[in-house]
Structure 1
Amino acid sequence: MEKEIIIQGENPIYGSLTIPSTEGKYPAILIIAGSGPLDRNGNDRKGKYTTNLYKELAEYMGGLGFVTFRYDKRGTGKRDGDWLAAGLSDLMVDAKKAVEFMMSHPNVDAQKVIVCGHSEGTIIATKLTESFELGGLMLLSGGVDNLMEFLKVQRQLAYKELFETPGIKGWLNRKLKVDVKGEKQVENLMKKMNQTDKDIIKIQFFFKQPAKWFREHSVCNTRETLKNVKCPVFALHGDKDPLVDNKVLTELAPLVTGKSEYHIIHNMEHGLRVQTEPRSILNARKIFKELMKRPLHEEGLQKISGWLETNFKNVESTDSKQEVS
């Protein structure tokens, strides 16, 4: 059963709540979206990038017997505001209100509220553990690294692909040292971000950049936050995901004080769908439409359901474990 919810406030939050059909209290999952102008379903404002990722995840998790809630980010779906002007602090305000809503809902077991972040949402989800005693933390296509580290991984992969381009193009990229120039541009951009208190700045007179968002993310230390996480933690990456570094998940168990597990799924991309094509950040947009025709990765869903069932349905099974696959 799905219904629309409005959380009142200065900028009301519009979202979708799913509840199992039978009466009672259930464990609940809050789904937090990744970066960009994404609505509650995982789709952008202009309909160019339609993923329905969060809608599909909510349906899947709801089918396992969990209450789920997902909501529109500022400036998307039914919400007011400018998504470019929203900093990490604004995203945290919305996420905290969503957690409070779920913990107070009559059909939710307040001791079993799980926060599930995807991509940038993994940073927000991790920071929520500073304010709430959560039942669990799920990190999908992200985790451990902060935003600036994510972006550096992406740039390094792009430089590598540019250098390996066959023929004259690859030679020119190496000769012109596009990596050195690229990093200098990033350094200059961040300097401009840090020298202003504006939410949005323009680069080259026309291109808007979310300055507040960058400034606030640049001082966020997710590793320090993870050191105080006591609830069960689950992380899931795909080996075809060009936006994250799979290796950082090995840091998870030493960082958190509670039990944790992580999985790296073969032939899964950033949006949790099947990808048999080579991992590539430069070709990601080319294959996007084809990827959206494919289902969520079955093995990835099985890992999600296994963790949820073990920790929140089958409470007797509580042995600590860390897994890699």
Structure 2
Amino acid sequence: MEKEVKFGEKDPIYGRLALPAGEGGHPAILLIAGSGPLDRDGNTPKGKIETNLYKEMAGFFTSIGFVTLRYDKRGTGKRDGDWLAAGMWDLVEDARSAVEYLQSHPSVDRERVIVAAHSEGTIIATALGASTKLGGVIFLSGGVDNLSEALGKQRKLGSKELLEKPVLGKLLKLLNVEEKSEKSAAKMMEKFKQSKEDIVKIQLFFKQNAKWYREHDAFNTREALKSMNCPVLALIGDKDVLADKEVLSELPSLVQGKAEIAIINDMEHGLRIQLEELSLLKSGKRFKEILKRPLHPEALATLEAWLSENFLGQTTKEKSQIEPIIS
């Protein structure tokens, strides 16, 4: 059963609650979205981009026995507000309200409320887990790095691809484009830090979510992870161009609870199958085609096995060959 819900006193939050078959006491999963103006399903306003990622993930989690909740971010779906004006800590408070709603729901076992967070949502979940008791945390396509670190690595990967091009690469090296790009990014961040406004205009016309950048830049993810005392799973694809796989090796030494890491072969940032080579520069052209593909079956199998072992009291199913799983 799936129904529309509203929660939060000062700023009502709208979402969809799905209940599995059977009576109360179910474990529950809250889905936390990635960056941008994404609604409860993972879609942008006016249908410009429709991923339906969180709708599909919620359907999967409910099918294996979990209550699920997904909600509209500020300024999306049925929600009031402006997503550009929302800071990182505003997003954390929204997620906290959602956890509290689940913990108080009669069909939910309050001790088994798990957060499944995607992309930027992994940072929101990290901040939430440092101050809120959670049953478990799933990092999807992210984890450990804060936003500034992740964006810096994305720029570096893009520059590396450009510099490897035979003719263009030589020209870019000659013009010292990579160094200039980093200086430009640092200058913009400094402008955000100096401002006290939620939104800042760049080049007179382009609005930027300055508060969001400031708060993310100041947040120390590694220190926050040290306060997380629950089972943690970090799941990422080897074709993910937006998140660093290698840095996840730090996770077991940071969190207090048991941590596992699963790197899924041929999976991209949106958890779908990608057989093409890893390329940041080509990711935009491939985006619409990849959205037609299913969620990666090995990723779903890994999630089901981990959830069954930790929250359903079932024997872990034999895992597919995934490289690597570290605990």
Which TM-score applies when normalising by structure 1? 0.96
- 1:294 corresponds to: 293
How many angstroms does 1:112 deviate by? 0.3
Counterpart AA for 1:247: E
Secondary structure at the residue paired with 1:275? Answer: coil
218-227 or 30-39, which deviates more: 218-227
- State the SS of the aligned residue for 2:196: coil
Rounded Cα–Cα distance in structure 2 between residues aligned with 1:9 and 1:115: 21
8 Å contact 1:40–1:77 — kept in the other structure?
yes
CA distance in structure 1 between the partners assigned to 2:228 and 2:264 by the alignment = 24
Aligned length: 320
What is the aligned partner in structure 1 of residue 158 from structure 2?
158
Deviation of the 1:225 alpha carbon: 1.0
SS in 2 for 1:122: helix
Q: How does 1:104-123 map to 2 (within 5 A)?
A: 104-123=104-123
Q: Give the structure 2 partner of residue 224 of structure 1.
A: 223
1:307 pairs with 2:306 = yes
Offset of residue 17 of structure 1:
0.3
Q: Distance in 1 between matches of 2:197 and 2:227?
A: 32
Instruction: Tell me if structure 2 keeps the 8 A contact 1:118–1:142.
Output: yes
Residues 1-325 of structure 1 mapped to structure 2, 5 A cutoff? 1-167=1-167, 169-314=168-313, 323-324=325-326
Report how far residue 323 of structure 1 moved.
2.0
**Distance across 2 between alignment mates of 1:84 and 1:313:** 39
- Structure 1 unaligned regions, length at least 5: none
CA distance, structure 2, for counterparts of residue 152 and residue 296 of structure 1: 28
How far, CA to CA, are the matches of 1:196 and 1:258 in structure 2? 38
Q: Tell me the SS of whatever aligns to 1:125.
A: helix
- CA shift, 1:48, in A, is 2.1
- 1:9, CA displacement in angstroms? 2.5
Return the offset for 1:8. Answer: 4.0
Q: Cα deviation per residue 1:86-145 (whole Å; 9 max; x = unaligned)?
A: 001111111110010000000000000001110000011111112221110110000011
Taking structure 2 as the reference length, what is the TM-score of the superposition?
A: 0.95
Shift, 1:315, TM fit: 6.4
Q: Is the 8 A contact 2:27 2:113 kept in 1?
A: yes
What SS does the aligned partner of 1:285 have? helix
Secondary structure of 1:237's aligned partner: strand
Cα distance in 2 for partners of 1:21, 1:226 equals 34
For residue 124 of structure 2, what is the amino acid of its counterpart?
Answer: I
1:165 and 1:3 map into 2 onto residues whose CA distance is 51
Amino acid at match of 1:42: G
Cα distance in 2 for residues equivalent to 1:55 and 1:245: 25
Letter of the 1:279 counterpart: L
Structure 1 window deviating more from structure 2 (173-182 vs 66-75): it is 173-182
Task: Give the superposed CA RMSD.
Answer: 1.4
SS of the equivalent of 1:296 reads coil
| Alignment check: 8 A CA contact 2:117 2:138 kept | yes
Q: Which runs of 5+ in 2 are unaligned?
A: 317-323
CA separation in 1, counterparts of 2:166 and 2:36?
33
Q: Which moved more, 1:54-63 or 1:43-52?
A: 43-52
Query: For 2:194 and 2:119, how far apart are their aligned partners in 1?
Result: 27
How far residue 164 of structure 1 moved from its aligned partner, in angstroms, is 1.2
Give 2:320's aligned residue: none
> Which secondary structure does the structure 2 equivalent of 1:191 belong to?
helix
- Letter in structure 2 aligned against 1:31: L
- Which 4+ residue blocks in structure 1 deviate beyond 6 angstroms? none
Deviation at 1:228, TM superposition (A): 1.8
Determine the C-alpha separation between the residues in 2 that align with 1:68 and 1:252: 26
Residue by residue over 1:231-251, the C-alpha shift from the partner in whole angstroms, topping out at 9 and shown as x without a partner, is: 000000101010011001110
Contact kept? 1:264, 1:324, Cα under 8 Å: no
State the AA in 2 paired with 1:265. I
- Displacement of 1:324 after TM fit? 4.4
Aligned sequence identity (%): 58
Q: Structure 1: how far apart are the matches of 2:194 and 2:61?
A: 44
Letter in 1 for 2:325: E
CA shift for structure 1 position 175: 1.1
| Conserved 8 A contact 1:238-1:265 | yes
